[in-house]
Amino acid sequence: MYYQNRTEAGQILADKLFEAYRYENCAVVALTSGAVLVGEQIAERLHCVLTMMMVEAIEVPGENLNFGGVSQGGNFSYNSDFSQGQIDGFESEFHGYFEEQKREAFQRINRLLGEGGVIDKDLLRDHTIILVSDGVESGASFDAAMDFLKPIRTDKIIVATPTASVPAVDKLHMMADELHILDVKANFMGVDHYYEENDIPSEEDTIEKINKIVLNWQ
């Protein structure tokens, strides 16, 4: 399935979620700037808060593998696709590199967010959380999101995305209470491939917009 843009994909997801969640206390949490464009449509239809979680991926050098992610809280979450043996092996070989990358990632997040950050945990507590992506290839970004949400009391965690790979769906089934995925791909071609238009605002512009939305809900 292909979409004109992320707004169209978000509208389709919003239609699918509306009947079940229009009267529920929901909060939409987007994982990227592109996901915000999808999540806006869901939040508007369900009349709920929209926010964004910043996660910086750390890759294994030379392997094109996502080792894990640093969240805006400063925590690092390993990619759960790896076994403990694989994690120990990579840590032993690249420990200094990973530590430097983690520090740089957290510094980038702090520079973007400034004071206060994007997510107010009080806006999420006792809500149904709808985690939104604009496309999921591996599901690694959700490891950091789930770790961030663990200490927060939530009613339910839902994943909503226009497209995802088969391995990602298998992984997400173990993480979330519900999945709403419009199209599952056996041969995932990259997120942008499924949109005719790929105009995504900068992270700075997205964060500014999100903070304005959050202020309206507080």
Q: How many CB atoms lie within 10 A of CB 167?
A: 15
Give the pLDDT of residue 214: 62
Give the pLDDT of residue 163: 98
Which pLDDT tens digit goes with each residue over 54-65? 888 899 999 888
Average pLDDT of span 91-108: 93
pLDDT for 117 beyond 80: no
**C-alpha to C-alpha distance for 57 and 186, rounded to whole angstroms:** 23
* Residue 112, burial from CB neighbour count under 10 angstroms (0-12, 13-18, 19+): middle
Strands 156-165 and 178-185, by their bridges, are parallel
Q: What is the pTM of this model?
A: 0.87
Give the pLDDT of residue 188: 96
CA dihedral 176, 177, 180, 186 (to 10 degrees): 50
Q: Which residues pair with 56 in a beta bridge?
A: 70
Query: What is the CATH architecture assignment of 6-55+116-217?
Result: 3-Layer(aba) Sandwich (3.40)
Range in 11-15, 112-116, 117-121, 175-179 the model is least confident about: 112-116
Average pLDDT of span 22-26: 94
Give the pLDDT of residue 55: 84
Q: How many CB atoms lie within 10 A of CB 25?
A: 13
Average pLDDT of span 107-133: 82
Give the pLDDT of residue 64: 83
pLDDT for 173 beyond 60: yes
Q: What percent of the chain has pLDDT over 70?
A: 95
Domain residue limits, the chain: 6-55+116-217, 56-113
Give the mean pLDDT of the chain: 91
pLDDT for 78 beyond 60: yes
Average pLDDT of span 68-96: 92
